[in-house]
Structure 1
Amino acid sequence: MTKPRILVVEDESGIADTIQYVLATDGYQPVWCATAEQAMAEFQAQLPALAILDVGLPDRNGFELFKQLQALPGGADVPMLFLTARSDEIDRVVGLELGADDYIAKPFSPRELVARVRTILRRSNGRAPAAAAAAPAPVVPFAVDVEKRQIRYYGRPLELSRYEFGLLRLLVHKPGRVYTRDELLAQVWDDHSDSFDRTVDAHIKTLRAKLKAVAPNVEAIRTLRGTGYALAEDLPPAP
């Protein structure tokens, strides 16, 4: 059985050696790159099952590398995890808003990193990116432009507040994935300690109203009572 190939982009050799060791011990095939240029070449040569990207690379910002990898053929199907020495919340928010699957700050437990890798791959059904790229993509009537901070719904641009954009973008990224209110607060709000569950509920309510204005008969956002919210997986291709 072919071992899942994990691209490790980390300029500190000591940290990279540790990551490679624990990944190999857990049954993965790590491929180490010390620079963004090397990562681009390896990524194009063979799509990995997952990429671990250090934010502070010597030749390019890790967030910029993420966007460039995502733009490559099949890149959008590769789950990615950010690794950084900085623990600022803004880095975590930027990484998640870009579309990363997870984020871990140094210093970290190597076993925790492997556990997160395992969880991400299990969440993506363990499919190799090449196989996922070959399969027809599910029809989701949303188009997200992160740089313009704009979301189109059935072709129509939505007028969204900052937090409405963050909420909808997160839900659209993983259709069917149920997010608790605490998760939504932590991933969308700057200082979620000052926010409450009803803050999420209020923003979901206004989001639903804006979606209904475009497609009155479509229930795009599902409520799981006592749990949280999810984007419906079976949205029609046209309202």
Structure 2
Amino acid sequence: MERAETPATIVVVEDEADMARVLQFNLQSLGHRVLLAPTATEALRLVAAAVPDLVLLDLRLPDGFGMDLLRDFRAAPRTAALPVIVVSALGDEPTVVQALECGADDVVSKPFRTRELLARVATALRRHAAPAETGIAAAPLAFGPLRMAPETREVSAAGEPVELTRTEFDLLAFFVTHPERVFTRRQLCEQALGSGGAILERTIDAHVRTLRRKLGPAGQCLVTVWGVGYRLVDSP
């Protein structure tokens, strides 16, 4: 793969030394700065010192469970929107869904193909770039009880503020700007999240479930079109 146009700082949270070195080598070959964290404690220290551009997170750590670390990131205002890709041998569907519902932007199962992982990293970095770089409209968005401010990435439902990850925000913004239209999971992956197929289509289901939960009653406007996909309607 070509070197990244904009090098990023990436924290790799991985306790297996060989795996950590493989990830470090491949990411550095693209021009990225890589910081290694073999424990959850070290990961928290690194992120507290300076919020990175992205975190690659293993779930099995010697001093804790990666899912708890992910929750800590999402609960803190400084890291609520921090891109996190879970890279774990725990690749069963319940674990994948749980990771996504906890706020992971993507999940990669071990063993993985290096080029695929690097493509997902590039996708996450591109999607989570500053609005000025991605061309996200700065004008406020509104549909029904939903209000969105792309410039500040603030969301409210029926007047109540809602905390969303960047992936969740991008997905909801796509629905709000294309109301009443039905989209397949593949279309949402490619058009809403710009994944180019890197993000598994099944992750869309988990993100939609999380959006419904976070939006409360307004989440009922995100309806399932059985056998096709999803759409945002004015009244369910």
Q: Paired residue for 2:202?
A: 186
Q: Is the 8 A contact 2:59 2:66 kept in 1?
A: yes
Identity fraction in percent: 34
Structure 1 residues 98 and 231, CA, compared in 2 at 3 Å: closer, same or farther?
farther
Q: Paired residue for 1:87?
A: 91
Code of the residue aligned with 1:22 in structure 2: it is N
- The answer on 1:139 being equivalent to 2:144 is no
Q: Paired residue for 1:154?
A: 159
Structure 1 residues 180 and 154, CA, compared in 2 at 3 Å: closer, same or farther?
farther
Code of the residue aligned with 2:76 in structure 1: it is L
TM-score by length of 1: 0.62
- The answer on 1:43 being equivalent to 2:58 is no
Deviations, residues 48-90 of structure 1 (Å, cap 9, x unaligned): 0000110111111000011112233410121101011122101
Deviation for aligned residue 1:186:
2.2
The residue matched to 1:86 in structure 2 has which SS? coil
Q: Is the 8 A contact 2:154 2:161 kept in 1?
A: no
Deviation for aligned residue 1:105:
0.6
CA distance, structure 1, for counterparts of residue 118 and residue 83 of structure 2: 14
Deviation for aligned residue 1:228:
5.3
Cα-Cα RMSD: 3.8
Structure 1 residues 25 and 172, CA, compared in 2 at 3 Å: closer, same or farther?
closer
Which has the larger Rg? Answer: 1
Code of the residue aligned with 1:141 in structure 2: it is S
Structure 1 residues 126 and 25, CA, compared in 2 at 3 Å: closer, same or farther?
farther
Q: 1:17 aligns with which of 8, 15, 21?
A: 21
Q: Paired residue for 2:57?
A: 53
Q: Which runs of 5+ in 1 are unaligned?
A: 128-134, 143-152, 158-169, 191-199, 205-209, 214-219, 233-239
Deviation for aligned residue 1:26:
1.0
Deviation for aligned residue 1:139:
3.3
